[in-house]
Structure 1
Amino acid sequence: MRRSSVFYAVGAFIALLVLATVAALFMTTHKPAPAPVVVGGDTPEQSVQQSVALIKVGDFAGFWKHALPPADYDTLRADWTHPRPDDHPLTPEDRADFIKNMQQLTEPNAETKLYALAKPKLAQLQAQYQDQVPVMIGIFQAIAATGVAQSKELTNAQKQQATEVINVLAPWAQTVPWFDQNRAKQLVGVAVATARKLDLKTPEQLKSMDFDTAMQKYSTGFLGLKQALAIYGLSVDDLLDSVKVTTLDNRNGHARVRIDYTLLGKPLSIESELLQQDGRWYSADMLQNVREAHEHLTAPPAPAASAPAPATSAPIQAMVPAVKH
């Protein structure tokens, strides 16, 4: 295996861990409670704590029901199966890879077969790249931090929060025994068990799911991811259990809360804005994101801009292919 391919493989895996953890933190910032699920929260603190409880058990259907006012929740459900304007069609290669991977993960004795394939490769990678992994992760940390700093979609506060998370995860990732055989065997077992529970045979199944089915699949995937991260020492449950919510400001139906939490032994915090509607409290960011997604989904396509070309450009245009929008 070439060094570049190993670098990108390790980088992609660490990226997955960062994104998974940031996603868990983001969802922690705004939502519901176990059974029975209530819509919104009586107070800003209860709204966040109920969200944390639902995320911990992987109840994403309940999470959305709690996180959104009834009208927005109904809109989300109705929008779920609508085609996305920015969806890219699957290539035959992508479809074939998906089917092949799912077959390998779910066939009889998949755990034994996959671990038998992984074991010699892990030994080879450990011998060749053990000393280079910390350097690779350090490089990825710098790239990720630069990406966050240059992001035009994040606020300054969000950039600071994301950078703090990266700065905690990177040192942890540098010390994790990624090539450990016992952990790899456990990871294969979790991946196989999760794939079997997902029961996905074709990528078309993903695109055609209704809301309720998708939430069940998300729950299965999330719980599997939690198990996988725990094998390498990152407990999402410990993170969620550490959450403490403090109201910083509450007036005229707007509240600002600070969410303190502990990630890998490091105390961190994030702030969240909440809005009160019909006596219930909801995440302001969540409401905005869901409503903007609905507007984007239902907006008519923008007309293609076209202006008559000057007569002198006609010979040039005849030789240039039309640009596809």
Structure 2
Amino acid sequence: MRIQTLLLAAMCAIAGLTACSGDRDDGDTAGRGAQRPVDAVLLPAQHLREDDLVAFVRASVPAPLHAELRLAWSEGRSRWPLEELPLHDQLPRMIAALSAPDAETTLLAAFEKQFTGADGELRKAVETLAAFGVQYVNNDPDLDDIQRDREIQRLVALSRWAVQAPLTDRQRAQAALARLCAAARATGLESDQALREAGMDESLRRLSAFLATAKAVLADYGLDLDASLAALDVALERQTGDHARLRVRYPLADEAIDVRVEIERHDRHWYRSDRLRRATAAAGRDTGPAGPR
């Protein structure tokens, strides 16, 4: 795996998971569903800031759908919520590359070969990837206008950060690789088979520690995702029965993000509509999430 791909995959994956999720709520919401509309964003993000992917998933979907997702995972039909991540199919490969016995040495050698004196080349690569990403999002028929705007704002912010970030700093890279390799080995999830054997909850529990390390590494490069979440502002823009729209504002890599998020209520709890649709598809359902409203 090329070191550029490895670093960009890690960056996109972690930032993608945490983007537009929210800040910790002042109320006692741990272990309960999102009872207020704004909690559909705030509650899952509280768990992300605590690096608890198991709780994040439980807060993101109704209980019946959660049970179906666990079954689909055990049968190898789904890897949701990992499927929420950009480049999610690269995750086992990335973990395997970082878990190799000599990963620190080989990846640092690859870094030196590919990045030494390559600031301009890397900058152009980031700009090219960003332009391609924006074009892809604009042409994606599966996205509505709200989702498209949200993804483009995030892509632009991350690309501007990447252009300025010290990604070619050898000393910083050496320290980052040491931390990421140790965290990857601790997961024991270097293949899709390992994910299946561990099961959804145990896999997410192990990946939670890796998430914490990856967020800390990104913060060292100037991308502080927890700080973004801490500064997030969520407001109810409109509500009609069991459907509502939230306005979500937060800083991402010094860029001001201002997006809308559609949510819906099931069994007295609120959930993000786009996340529910993807989770429902991952579970293999033909209809929307189960559970009385």
Instruction: Please state which band the TM-score falls in when normalised by the shorter chain.
Output: 0.7 to 0.9
Answering whether residue 243 of structure 2 is matched by residue 254 of structure 1, we say yes
The residue that corresponds to 1:66 in the other structure is 59
The Cα shift of 1:31 comes to 11
Gaps in structure 1 of 5+ consecutive residues: 87-94, 299-325
Q: Distance in 2 between matches of 1:169 and 1:97?
A: 20
Answering whether residue 245 of structure 2 is matched by residue 270 of structure 1, we say no
Q: Distance in 1 between matches of 2:96 and 2:12?
A: 27
Answering whether residue 180 of structure 2 is matched by residue 191 of structure 1, we say yes
Q: 1:75 aligns with which of 59, 68, 74?
A: 68
The Cα shift of 1:11 comes to 5.8
SS at 1:197's partner residue?
helix
The Cα shift of 1:153 comes to 1.6
Answering whether residue 16 of structure 2 is matched by residue 22 of structure 1, we say yes
SS at 2:161's partner residue?
helix
Answering whether residue 101 of structure 2 is matched by residue 104 of structure 1, we say yes
Contact 1:33 1:52 survives alignment (8 Å): no
Answering whether residue 33 of structure 2 is matched by residue 40 of structure 1, we say yes
The residue that corresponds to 1:220 in the other structure is 209
Structure 2 CA distance for partners of 1:182 and 1:54, relative to 1, 3 Å? same
Q: Distance in 2 between matches of 1:176 and 1:97?
A: 21
Q: Distance in 2 between matches of 1:186 and 1:12?
A: 15
Q: Distance in 2 between matches of 1:30 and 1:290?
A: 22
The residue that corresponds to 1:279 in the other structure is 268
Q: Distance in 2 between matches of 1:242 and 1:183?
A: 27
How do 1:1-325 residues align onto structure 2 when only pairs under 5 Å count?
A: 10=4, 13-14=7-8, 16-25=10-19, 28=21, 37-84=30-77, 102-104=99-101, 114-115=104-105, 122-200=111-189, 203-295=192-284
Please tell me the root mean square deviation across aligned C-alpha atoms, in Å: 3.4
Q: Distance in 2 between matches of 1:78 and 1:268?
A: 36
SS at 2:153's partner residue?
helix
Q: Distance in 2 between matches of 1:139 and 1:38?
A: 43
The Cα shift of 1:74 comes to 2.1
Structure 2 CA distance for partners of 1:119 and 1:256, relative to 1, 3 Å? closer
Structure 2 CA distance for partners of 1:171 and 1:81, relative to 1, 3 Å? same
Gaps in structure 2 of 5+ consecutive residues: 80-91, 288-293
Report how many residues are paired.
275
Structure 2 CA distance for partners of 1:287 and 1:96, relative to 1, 3 Å? closer
Kindly provide the amino acid, as one letter, of the partner of residue 23 in structure 1.
L
Kindly provide the amino acid, as one letter, of the partner of residue 201 in structure 2.
D
Larger RCO (alpha carbons 8 Å, 6+ apart)? 2
TM-score if structure 1 supplies the norm length?
0.73
Name the % identity. 19
SS at 1:258's partner residue?
strand
Per-residue Cα deviation, 1:190-227 (whole angstroms, up to 9, x for no partner): 11220232134665322322122111122122112212
The Cα shift of 1:101 comes to 5.6
